Chains A and B, each alone.
Chain A
């Protein structure tokens, strides 16, 4: 019995994501919101033969209704990258979008879990946090940046060079953030031991970090990852949904580290330092983040990568925080 709102449901990610969540039999209500085209998307998706009720919400006048009585909001809204753009280039547009959407959630479903896909996640999650704090409803256990696609890519790319490995079963923890060198795959901690040369580690790491660019390039101006992002977003949503239903689920995600201050000590010591946010493997429960799953020891290469990531993240986080602070000034 879970109600999910997808904000940005008529977009490139939103549409296949809506389909995948319609197929999730644990979802009972699906609220699809966007500023254009969503009535058509909702009507389409509503024909899929599963039990959930699909409702369309079009435009800012219907946003409040879209996010009332929901358990989970997934936010893919915003514009995608074109070749040559970094995720930061999207910032100005997507920052306002995310701010407005999270304000509505704060006002109408303050206890909802929020999963943010809109890039740059390293900044939009801090934006969401600041909005929730300003509204007095902030719960660090209920806010998540969706980094699942990096994890999906990590296992897929490992398989590309080691075809004998079952990539669907392979789990590679990915920590840090969700762009370029803030993405730190911990290949040494993969669930199945993979023998990689140092060169392979470096190449894989780079490929995972810039997997998004690979798709932006291949789409040649037509957008960024939509289908694989929908797949990853749906997987993330499913983890939250199962946790809401009482299951204990582990999902890697970008969270406020104060959600588990004790558990965060390990990643802080590994290089996250005093950062407010960092992606870590998280054990989820009915209240959201239950605890950060301990990692163990990392290699020198990974340790150095974590430190580089932390430095870049510090600036991304500050950008997000400052955006909210200066718009309310």
Chain B
């Protein structure tokens, strides 16, 4: 049913050097907490031919470091001080991954980051629209529920919008869901997670996991844990930030899905993308099952009919929240 996911193998020996298509990937925010480890994982991915790293500071150091890893890709690092640095980072990019921005502190929601990160994403999206409008955008910067609409409006205004190419990265919710039921199930399997990427908009579909039997209490607890998994890490880091390492893993995994699709593989993923599943409610974005191909989104799939009543309620509750954050993002760009 689902395409089997292979965990990214970072040990040098497991690389196949016979992979066909190779691609340039740009990372915007490459010197940050997520960006650094993400850059390393992308450097280790044999499907990446070239890596462009951009941040406001420190990127040359990160590039020199990561550049010593003995895989085929070449790495270049630029900062705002470099003339045309952002342009050079983006030129020829197949994928642009955007972790740039500030992370949460304890007690903050992802929406609390809006004021700082909205402008960052808008400006970076503008550069992408100018330099590499054909590239797929993988947006990690929170709040994803708003930054995806922001990037979209920027692309629309620039006349280069392609709904198949802008993705809100929700992979970490998928990773957490798999992990949190791992002990119960005795193995790691894919768990579909749909909706959005904040609190109650995160909807794990445990009903779709074969062989998983949960009591009502377990289901509620696990759902809550997946929804607030990010808060768990923010709290544990006690002011020092939010998930960086697990986010880097999740981001690299989603980038790899796109690269594999680019190379002709049939890939099923879950991502926060433009679709009409809840058009009647006015919703333009919803994370759902997405088939990928070399152009990005090949097909958006509706939620399975077999989802539980509980999950249907979660979807209902998520919609007004998603509408709010969508409008906030759109208004930020268009001022209305």
A binds B: yes
A interface residue numbers (CB < 8 A to B): 15-16, 18-20, 22-25, 37, 39-51, 149, 152-153, 155-156, 159, 166-170, 211, 214-215, 217-220, 222-223, 225-228, 230-231, 234-235, 238
Stretch at the interface among B20-28, B38-46, B264-272, B327-335: B38-46
In this complex, the member of A37, A48, A51 whose beta carbon has the largest number of chain B beta carbons within 10 angstroms is A48
A44-B245, A234-B10, A235-B11 are contacts. A152–B233 as well, Cβ < 8 Å?
A: no
Smallest CB-CB separation from A43: which chain B residue? B236
With both beta carbons as reference points, the residue of chain A lying nearest to B175 in the complex is identified as A49
Considering the complex, give the chain B residue whose CB is closest to the CB of A225.
Answer: B65
Contact of A168 with B240 in the complex, beta carbons under 8 Å: no
Known: A39-B236, A227-B40. A48 touches B65 (CB 8 A): no
Q: Which A residue's beta carbon lies closest to that of B44?
A: A231
Interface mask (B173-211 → A, CB under 8 Å = 1, otherwise 0): 001101100100001100000000000000000000000
Cβ contact within 8 Å between A152 and B245: no
Closest approach, in angstroms, between the C-beta of B25 and any C-beta of chain A? Answer: 15
Report chain B residues within 8 Å CB of A19.
37, 245-246, 248-249
> A23-B249, A219-B61, A235-B12 known; A152 and B69 CB under 8 Å?
yes
A218 touches B64 (CB 8 A): yes
Most central of A39, A46, A168, A225 by chain B CB within 10 Å: A168
B68 touches A152 (CB 8 A): yes
Q: Which residue of B lies closest to A26 (CB)?
A: B11
Would you mind naming 29 contact pairs between A and B with Cβ atoms under 8 Å apart?
A: A19-B246, A19-B248, A19-B249, A20-B10, A23-B9, A23-B10, A40-B241, A41-B245, A47-B179, A47-B246, A49-B188, A50-B188, A51-B188, A152-B68, A152-B69, A156-B68, A167-B71, A169-B17, A211-B68, A219-B58, A219-B61, A222-B58, A223-B61, A225-B65, A228-B69, A231-B10, A231-B40, A234-B10, A235-B12
B249 touches A48 (CB 8 A): yes
Residues of B in contact (CB 8 Å), total 52
Contact B58–A48 (Cβ < 8 Å): no
Q: Which of B7, B72, B179 contacts A25 (CB 8 A)?
A: B7
* B179 contacts across to A, CB distance below 8 A: 46-50
Q: With A and B bound together, what is the CA distance between A217 and B182 in angstroms?
A: 44
Assess the B188–A215 pair: CB atoms within 8 A.
no
B120 sits at the interface (CB 8 A): no
Residues of B within 8 A of A22 (CB): 245
Given contacts A49-B182, A152-B69, A218-B65, are A44 and B10 in contact (CB under 8 A)? no
